[in-house]
Chains A and B, each alone.
Chain A
Amino acid sequence: DQQVKQNSPSLSVQEGRISILNCDYTNSMFDYFLWYKKYPAEGPTFLISISSIKDKNEDGRFTVFLNKSAKHLSLHIVPSQPGDSAVYFCAASGASGTYKYIFGTGTRLKVLA
């Protein structure tokens, strides 16, 4: 049972344009959401997070939007750069009685120069 889903396995975007990565979750008890970037042969690197009491969090070129009613979050990268090419994972935590961070299946982003 995949509680956190990223339905797009890959995405290609032109340099300078906006990249939008999407994530859906099923457990309404999740109250903390995170995005990670992963390069090959490295561990996931934390990018940005959002608490369920907010609907938007911004950090430089990265903005995360949370729509609780739709159980959906998205990561916007503006402007996209070739160095952003990586696999992006969303994660969720806070479901009642558990301290696990559940990861999505990842989206491979390729930013074309």
Chain B
Amino acid sequence: AAGVIQSPRHLIKEKRETATLKCYPIPRHDTVYWYQQGPGQDPQFLISFYEKMQSDKGSIPDRFSAQQFSDYHSELNMSSLELGDSALYFCASRVWGESYNSPLHFGNGTRLTVT
């Protein structure tokens, strides 16, 4: 079965550069979530989208922005990168329409390293 696809898998950037992470949800999934996981930490919710509209916002810095496109893929744009932005970034998708409660399905993440 098709899973959530994230690209790139690894990304190395320097401080103050920008980065764009992409997420392709499971077909027919209408909701996308972004999480950031630092070393030894739990995944921290950043932002979510339902039907291309932002549905909720977590601890996302103002330097970051995200959007969901008409084909439901999502991009997380990160500017003025800082060393502390180095982390694993996960995207997850689910179907909202069928049930209020449904599990998130995660991609394998993008490991961002800021030097």
Contacts and interface: CB of A to CB of B under 8 A. Distances in A.
B43 A34 contact: no
Contacts of A45: 106
Given A31-B101, A43-B106, A101 B42 contact: no
A49 B94 CA distance: 14
Interface residues of B, number: 25
B43 to A, nearest CB: 5
A69 interface: no
Contacts of A103: 35, 42-45
Interface of A: 31-32, 34, 36, 41-46, 49, 51, 89, 91, 93-94, 98-106
Given A51-B101, A98-B56, A105-B42, A43 B108 contact: yes
Interface of B: 4, 31, 33, 35, 41-45, 48, 50, 55-56, 58, 90, 92, 100-101, 103-109
Given A44-B90, A45-B106, A102 B45 contact: yes
B43 A89 contact: yes
Contacts of B103: 34, 46, 49
